[in-house]
Chain A
Amino acid sequence: MIASTRANLITLVTAPTVWALHFLVSYTAAAGYCAKTMADARVMTGAAWPDITIARLVILVATVVAVAIIALCTRQAWGHWRSGDVDPPFDEPSFEGRQGFLGFATLLLCGLSVVGVIFVALPAVFIGDCR
């Protein structure tokens, strides 16, 4: 499970994994929905394009869930980083040093992942049909 009293490799990769899954859900929601509706109505010039409200809602829910999980990861990583009261570059061969390193690296990955999730979700804000 991702919730852990100690930082480890699983907690380290949780946020990027959430980012990857969010990308997968967003991509398949939009592509799958459009492929199905476009196949039903072979679109001619000037005709209305299928509206993708359902796919946008799926992406919205996936984004809220992903950001929430990453927020929890961030809080946990902050705790791991601060628990040993050790500062970078974390090069001492001690338990606190390792916890500090893993916690800090996880914290940075959480930051990267939340930016990634938001960037992946942004097209759904601006694009409202299957064109």
Chain B
Amino acid sequence: MLIGAGVVWTIVLGVAVYATRVKTDAHEEHVGKRLIFWGGVVFPVVVLAALLVYGLRLMPELRQPGEGLRIDVAGEQFWWRVRYRPQNGPEVVTANEIRMPVGERVEFALTSPHVIHAFWIPTLGGKVDMIPGRENRLVLEAEKPGTYRGVCAEFCGASHALMAFDVVVMEKPAFDAWLAAQAAPLPTATGDLARGRDLFLQNGCGACHAVAGIEARGEVGPNLSRFGARKTLGAGALPNTAENVVRFIAETDKVKPRVTMPSYPALPRDDLTAIAAYLGSLK
């Protein structure tokens, strides 16, 4: 496609140079008519037909189903709800980060509960809308391991620009081990971390956020079970550091405007730090 576009661009510019620099006087009438017929009618029709056929021949291949792993992604305001559905093994729920094995066609099922978002990992493929009431499919195959950036590509509200996610592409064995580890129970918090966990529960965080193994089963906000392993906080809003977690909880609306989570400016600094330390330990 790029080569085709390059050839057309060169021809158009060549004709423009020819008309303005080389032969500036008028053509004879029959030459002009012939130019219009061949250059303005036959050439575009043939080129467009060839490109259309070429593109259409690629489409069935692009739309082959995935090879086993399916990942459901829902666009929330303003974060990503991610559910892994491996063929063998339990489902894993997480948020704001997607991991996938290299060299395998992974099928994404894309939905949205309220407004239209678009799921886009520019390095891996085109964007696909997430439309309320519909489930759109996208199959992606990553060719190289690494971390790529994904974004919401359809304006969805005040924090649309702060709705990103990391895509970590891993070797197949590492990915399988990671996925199996996600289903394993989290270690029990002790000492200061236990204080952070208790504050997390006392302040009602569990009403919206789920953390595996404790009385936090809310589904309104992102699942925080492996929060400490994520690279970013608030769907790409900030790097995931303890200091930023404190800031996010205390002034949520300043970090991410119009987000559903309320700010907790009245929480003592000590408590915020303890909660941040606890969340950071969830790996």
Contacts and interface: CB of A to CB of B under 8 A. Distances in A.
Interface stretch (B52-60, B143-151, B255-263, B272-280): B52-60
Q: Which residue, of A45, A46, A128, A129, has the highest number of chain B Cβ atoms within 10 A?
A: A45
Contacts of B57: 126
A131 B60 contact: yes
Interface of B, secondary structure class, is helix
Contacts of B157: none
Contact of B59 (A46, A115, A119, A126): A126
Contacts of A126: 53, 56-57, 59-60
Contacts of B56: 122-123, 125-127
B68 interface: yes
A interface residue count range (under 10 / 10 to 19 / 20 to 34 / 35 or more): 10 to 19
Nearest to B137: A131
Nearest to A119: B52
B interface residue count range (under 10 / 10 to 19 / 20 to 34 / 35 or more): 10 to 19
B66 interface: yes
A46 B65 contact: yes
Contacts of B114: none
Contacts of A46: 65, 68
A45 B68 contact: yes
A45 B53 contact: no
Interface in A78-131: 111, 115, 118-119, 122-123, 125-129, 131
B41 A111 contact: yes
B59 A45 contact: no
A91 to B, nearest CB: 16
A43 to B, nearest CB: 8
B49 A119 contact: yes
A23 B81 CA distance: 38
A118 B49 CA distance: 9
B269 interface: no
B283 interface: no
A45 to B, nearest CB: 5
B45 interface: yes
Interface in A30-72: 45-46, 49
Nearest to A128: B60
A127 B52 CA distance: 13
Interface of B: 41, 45, 48-49, 52-53, 56-57, 59-60, 63-66, 68, 70, 107, 137
Given A46-B65, A131-B65, 6 more contacts: A45-B68, A122-B52, A122-B56, A123-B59, A126-B53, A131-B63
